[in-house]
Amino acid sequence: MDEDFKGSFTQQEPIPEAGIEAAIAVMRSGRLHRYNTAPGETAETALLEQEFATSVSAKYCLAVASGGYAMATALRAMGVKPGDKVLSNAFTLAPVPGAIAALGAVPVFVGVTRDLTLDLEDLATKADQAQVLLLSHMRGHICDMEALMAICDAHDVQVIEDCAHTMGASWKGIPSGRFGAVGCYSCQTYKHVNSGEGGLLVTDDAEIAAKAIMLSGSYMLYERHLAGPDLAAFETVRYQTPNISGRMDNLRAALLRPQLADLGTQCARWNERYYAIEDGLRGTPGLTVIERPPNERIVGSSIQFLLEGWTEGPVQEVLARCIKRGVELKWFGAAEPLGFTSRYDSWRYVDAAPMPQSDAILAGIVDMRVPLTFSLEDCALIARIIRQEVSAVFQSQD
């Protein structure tokens, strides 16, 4: 009899007790707003910013309402205006081009490689079209960041890193988000720390940090940002920067601080599960495992594989057979965006030129969440199910 998986692909672990207790204390105080503090009290949000900045060795950190807000704020703080072109990934999720379009700017899509990273050859051909690259480390895959920065530096392109899927990851020991001018992170439920919604922005640039703080809605209370720049950085920008309110509140920060303190342990647990699934998938007929480069320290909160050269019918059959056995897979090759999948030609507010090479890769990408609520035994079972169903469909095509 076939084995079935009975677990959930969307169930997260509970918030740590320390976070629950801290959140209750905030609720009992009634002081949820980051600037509403008692005499001698430091806001949870300001402490979170300090602690996150230290964890990634950044000078400045701002806690905001979402990862998408962090990206749009970074773009604004770097001077992107309506009509400006901004380079970004063809393989990403809707908040990335959405952050660009929200400013009235125009996404210029860069292709994807078989490793699911930004195509650096395509980047080099398009780098003269824009002054900013919003780089998405999509699904946790980090490209050769030294090579990417060399291309961008040669063309005077500033880099914003979308690290929604790479908090805790690194390239050659440098934390994700620390190669470009700005790093943006998400604290949404399915990310590596969970406050339901939320985001973090880091930079070493005092002017960018000051503008971002003003944009977030500081109401001239910028001196309360312990991970912000010196007050002199605000002297001009405080009069010239609009308030586009998007602050994080103390309740979310209280939930996040204990999770941030335990992030290293959680990342190691994700990787145990990721590699257990990967090991179970290796050698499956018709399935290509994505090889991770040795310079990349991953956080395996999701896993992807390729069904290269498959047509839509067999791919859909694999997805249907797996879901019947309890395994929820996402496919990036569908003509219409579904759930948390989409592709560059899904966003019809962008007049994107066809990208045949990237289309061929996107047509084969299959994606799966790896929650920490999975046991290692669950991971082995899930891999067996995928292996069996892919093999059966692949063999039926011969």
Q: Are strands 296-297 and 302-306 parallel, antiparallel or unpaired?
A: unpaired
pLDDT bucket at 53, cuts 50 / 70 / 90:
very high
User: Is pLDDT of 398 > 90?
Assistant: no
Query: Any alpha helices (H) in 282-375, and if so which ranges?
Result: 312-324, 356-362
pLDDT bucket at 357, cuts 50 / 70 / 90:
very high
pLDDT bucket at 397, cuts 50 / 70 / 90:
confident
Q: What is the pLDDT at residue 2?
A: 77
- The residue among 375, 395, 394 whose CA lies nearest residue 383 is 375
The token pair at 279 is 């090991």
With beta carbons less than 8 A apart as the criterion, state whether 95 and 339 touch: no
Count of beta carbons in the 10 Å neighbourhood of residue 60:
23
How many whole angstroms separate alpha carbon 150 and alpha carbon 141? Answer: 19
**Domains located in the chain, CATH noted:** 17-261 (3.40.640.10), 263-396 (3.90.1150.10)
With beta carbons less than 8 A apart as the criterion, state whether 280 and 269 touch: no
With beta carbons less than 8 A apart as the criterion, state whether 66 and 188 touch: yes
DSSP state of 350: S
DSSP state of 354: P
pLDDT exceeding 90 applies to what percent of the chain?
A: 94
Q: What is the pLDDT at residue 336?
A: 81
User: Would you call 125 helix, strand, or coil by DSSP?
Assistant: helix
Average pLDDT of the chain to the nearest whole number: 96
User: Is pLDDT of 260 > 80?
Assistant: yes
The token pair at 325 is 């056995």
> In this predicted model, what pLDDT tens digit does every residue of 172-226 receive, in sequence order?
999 999 999 999 999 999 999 999 999 999 999 999 999 999 999 999 999 999 9
Mean pLDDT of 353-378: 96
* Phi/psi-derived region of residue 320, left when phi > 0, alpha when psi is between -120 and 50, beta in every other case: alpha
Q: What is the pLDDT at residue 153?
A: 98
Mean pLDDT of 11-23: 97
With beta carbons less than 8 A apart as the criterion, state whether 66 and 94 touch: no
How many whole angstroms separate alpha carbon 203 and alpha carbon 207? Answer: 10
How many whole angstroms separate alpha carbon 388 and alpha carbon 318? Answer: 10
Count of beta carbons in the 10 Å neighbourhood of residue 148:
24
Q: What is the pLDDT at residue 337?
A: 80
- The residue among 360, 176, 387, 379 whose CA lies nearest residue 289 is 387
User: Would you call 275 helix, strand, or coil by DSSP?
Assistant: helix
With beta carbons less than 8 A apart as the criterion, state whether 142 and 113 touch: no
> In this predicted model, what pLDDT tens digit does every residue of 266-289 receive, in sequence order?
999 999 999 999 999 999 999 999
Residue type, 68: G
Q: Identify the H or E element spanning 190.
A: none
Mean pLDDT of 333-342: 81
pLDDT exceeding 70 applies to what percent of the chain?
A: 99
Q: What is the pLDDT at residue 1?
A: 55
How many whole angstroms separate alpha carbon 259 and alpha carbon 262? Answer: 5
